[in-house]
Chains A and B, each alone.
Chain A
Amino acid sequence: MKNILNFKKSILVISILLLTACETTSSRLLDSSVGKSAVELRSIQGRAFDTKDQNKTLRTIIATLQDLSFVIDKADMELGTVSATKLDSSNQGFGNTGYMLRMTVSARPVGNRTLIRANAQFNITPVVEPKPYQDFFVALEKAMFLTAHQVE
């Protein structure tokens, strides 16, 4: 009886170890635990705007990010990318130092349109919910004076 109990305990310990080991580098690097396919993510994080002016689009993205309290980290006209970080202390308190939201937005021309793709990470967690991106594109629409079209 004692042997069976020890065996069960060992199985339990091994399975816990295996489970925790599974959640390491591979899944975190590939973000395979977020539960969204590449197509789903592109649909959530991308919108098309009826403009061919990439420079103006990038400048508007930068201005929108600044309005949303981001500080720009990097910008590249050639690649059409902007990265920015928002530090927020509004919920700062005991044990809470505030949050860090990092966002990269890219704009590339496709035909007569510009395809804008955004992706964000909140502290150390990827943002994959649709709502924050909807909010971002609503803000960008206002600044662009253009409608954001859902990407198929």
Chain B
Amino acid sequence: MGRIFKKSIIFISMLSFLLTSCIETIPPEALIFNKDTLANRQLQTRKFETKTEKELLSAAAGVLQDLGFSLDESAPAVGVIVGSKNRDATDSGQVVTAIALAVLFGSNMAIDKHQKIRASLITRPSETGKGHLLRVTFQRIVWNTHGAISKVEPINEALIYQEFFDKLSKSVFLEAQKI
């Protein structure tokens, strides 16, 4: 009986060791510049010939509102505006797969349901002393039909940034014309 007791102690110790060794750690590349750093910087940054930084920030806040974002944070002294919005995340491909699996195996596959999209807009005076630079970055968190987070990711699609800056150019113009 003493042996059973010892065995259970060893088993529990091993289990505890395994559980503690499962603690996740930060990936080694997390805080290092990588091959995409420069490309992303170029994709996400544009220069605007605005007289003041406030003018650009105000135009940028207007674009975020045009896109349905709520403003969460603003710190004009360091050129920061942060916004977010909650939207549907249903993917038709996932829905088809889920229906097929439900029909064939009766399984209840979780599919993406809604998402929170976050944007941060950062402005700074240009190094040349003329105009201002604006860098925008987007990311999203997706929840599935089981209420669990299914994806967390940065958004780096060129088309999205291009369209955003097109809208911002118009907004800067409108702002300059006081419209």
Contact = CB atoms under 8 A, between A and B. Distances in A.
B82 interface: yes
A125 B23 contact: yes
Contact of B30 (A5, A71, A82, A88): A88
Given A8-B5, A72-B80, A87-B139, A98 B27 contact: no
Interface string A53-71: 0010011001100111111
Interface string B25-51: 111101111000100110010000000
Interface residues of A, number: 51
Interface string B1-23: 10001001100100000000001
B151 A120 contact: no
A144 interface: no
Interface in A21-76: 55, 58-59, 62-63, 66-76
Contact of B77 (A5, A55, A136, A139): A55
Given A5-B5, A55-B77, A74-B73, A69 B154 contact: yes
Contacts of B32: 68, 135, 139
B122 A66 contact: yes
B149 interface: yes
Contact of B33 (A59, A67, A75): A67
A136 B23 CA distance: 22
Interface string B109-145: 0000000001110101000000000010111110000
A120 B26 CA distance: 10
B26 A129 contact: yes
Contacts of B174: none
Contacts of B138: 71
Given A59-B124, A86-B30, A99-B152, 16 more contacts: A5-B5, A55-B78, A67-B41, A68-B30, A72-B80, A72-B82, A73-B120, A92-B151, A92-B153, A97-B151, A101-B26, A132-B26, A132-B31, A135-B30, A136-B31, A142-B33
Interface of B: 1, 5, 8-9, 12, 23-28, 30-33, 37, 40-41, 44, 72-73, 75, 77-80, 82, 118-120, 122, 124, 135, 137-141, 149-154
Interface of A: 1, 4-5, 8, 12, 16, 55, 58-59, 62-63, 66-78, 82, 84-89, 91-92, 97-101, 120, 122-123, 125, 127, 129, 131-133, 135-136, 139, 142
